[in-house]
Structures are given as C-alpha cells and as structure tokens.
Amino acid sequence: MAINPIAKAGDTSSALPKPHVPHLGETVRVGPYEVMAAGTMYDLDDRFDDPNVVLVPLTDTFPGLIGQEYHIVYAALPDYGGVPDNWGEFLKENILPRLASGQKLLAFCVGSHGRTGVFLASLIALLESSEETPDPIVAARQRHCEKAVESFAQAQGVFALRGQPVPAHYRKSLHR
Ligand SMILES: [Zn+2]
C-alpha cells in the first residue's frame, strides 16, 4: 500500500470546508489574487467607508449611506438563481483586470453564501486549472464558507466557465 505523501505547505486540496462565521469581508484566495467576501446582513459600514475598496454588489439591495461616495462595479445576480449569459465576459473584462492591477475588491450579497459563493467559485474556475482545482465549489467552501454556492443554477454557471457539466451529486445537494 502506498504511503500518502505529506501535504505541502499551502496545499489545501484535501482541506475540510470552512465552518460558517459572520462574513465581514475576510480575504479569500482566487488563483494568485485575493478578494474580500461579505454579507450585508452583517455590519459592513467600516468596509464600505474604505475609499481604497472597490465594491462588487452581487445583490440589488446595496445599503449605501446618503451622501457617501462609493466605487462600485455592479453585478447583481438573482437570489438562488443562476448567472447571466455574459457572466464569463463580465468577469474577464471587469473583474480579472482589476485583480491583476492590485485593486482591493469587496464582493458581497446578503448572506455571503449563494451569490458571493458563485462569484468566488467562478473566479477560481477561471484562474485555476482543472488539474490544480478540479472542483471550484469545493475550493470556495474550503476557503470561504461551507455554505458557499446554494443553487444548482449557480453550480452550472461555475462549471460552464470551464465548459464542463456539473458533477452529478450537486443535483441532490443544491436547490433546484
Ligand atoms: Zn458562511
């Protein structure tokens, strides 16, 4: 019987899903970059006030303050829905260049699970190879939250970025 090699430092391929905690904008690795992930059900005022942060609302209920200026890349998705047809183009044209230029992005929805989960898993799908990260949803759950990605349509949106079908087990475990 082969002996399992000792995992290299930083190798998270076998990591367990990360237990849920309040999502206040903790950083999540996506490829060579990091993005911050949050939910508006938590108090994010300090995060929204940071002028160096580019906000990526994945919800159409952005709780901004009157008179406050924000830098927003609007990307509202339907709750429990999928992603638009141009999702991949949007990420490649509007998000990846910002990450490459070092902008600090704060992505958020309400709970930070479904829509923020699909955003994170989608970036992982685009930035990491299938060999490196076979399942971007598993990776998003290891790095962000065990509840990341809620609906089958969201899972389809993630795997479509790689031209792949959704693994069959997600048909049972995700909302249809
Ligand atoms: Zn969570």
**More confident: 140 or 173:** 140
Distance 27 CA to ligand 1 centre (A): 13
Q: Is the residue at 3 inside a domain?
A: no
From ligand 1's centre to the CA of 123, what distance in Å? 18
80 occurs within a structural domain:
yes
113 inside domain = yes
Indicate whether 7 belongs to any domain.
no
Instruction: Provide the number of structural domains found in the chain.
Output: 1
Residue 52 counted as domain residue:
yes
Q: Please report whether residue 136 resides in a domain.
A: yes
51, pLDDT greater than 50: yes
11 band by pLDDT with thresholds 50, 70 and 90 = low
Q: What is the pLDDT of residues 90-123, one digit of tens each?
A: 999 999 999 999 999 999 999 999 999 999 999 9
- Three-class SS of 115-155: HHHHHHHHHHHHHCCCCCCCCHHHHHHHHCCCCCCCEHHHH
Judge if pTM exceeds 0.85. yes
pLDDT at 1 over 60: no
Q: Which domain holds residue 99?
A: 24-173
Give domain status of residue 137, yes or no: yes
Q: Would residue 126 count as lying in a domain?
A: yes
Q: Which residues surround ligand 1, an ion (CB under 5 A)?
A: 20, 145, 147
Domain of 137, CATH number, reads 3.90.190.10
